[in-house]
Amino acid sequence: MSYRVEWMPAAALLGLVTLLLVPYLGLLVGLVILVLAAATVVSLVGALIAAPFLIVRSVHRRRRARTAAGRPSAQPSALAQPLAPRQQHPGL
């Protein structure tokens, strides 16, 4: 039976304390944590701002799809008519 798993939290705590005691590495770890916290806040604010827009867009799309399903579609013969040939302009 291996006791390595039981010692992992102690090793992680000891490693964290060692990193925080070394001034430069502690500063680096603190900056990384600060940047991650700031990124989390920015992403949450972005989600709060984008959520109402996405909900409204989804509702409009569903409403359009529901009303378009009840309307008759265009006649195939109207779509199959050939286009008139383009006239050539002498000045171009």
pLDDT digits (tens, 9 = 90+) for 3-12: 777 888 888 8
Each residue of 16-67: pLDDT tens digit?
888 777 887 778 888 999 999 999 999 999 999 999 999 999 999 988 888 8
Q: Say if 33 falls within a structural domain.
A: yes
Domain count, the chain: 1
Q: What angle do CA 31, 45, 58 make, to 5 degrees?
A: 145
- Residue 33, domain extent: 9-65
Q: Say if 28 falls within a structural domain.
A: yes
Q: Say if 79 falls within a structural domain.
A: no
DSSP string, 8-37: HHHHHHHHHHHHHHSHHHHHHHHHHHHHHH
Residue 25 makes CB contacts below 8 A (sequence gap 6+) with 19
- pTM higher than 0.85: no
pLDDT of residue 45: 97
pLDDT of residue 49: 95
Q: Say if 83 falls within a structural domain.
A: no
Take residue 38 and report the two structure tokens written for it: 């700031």
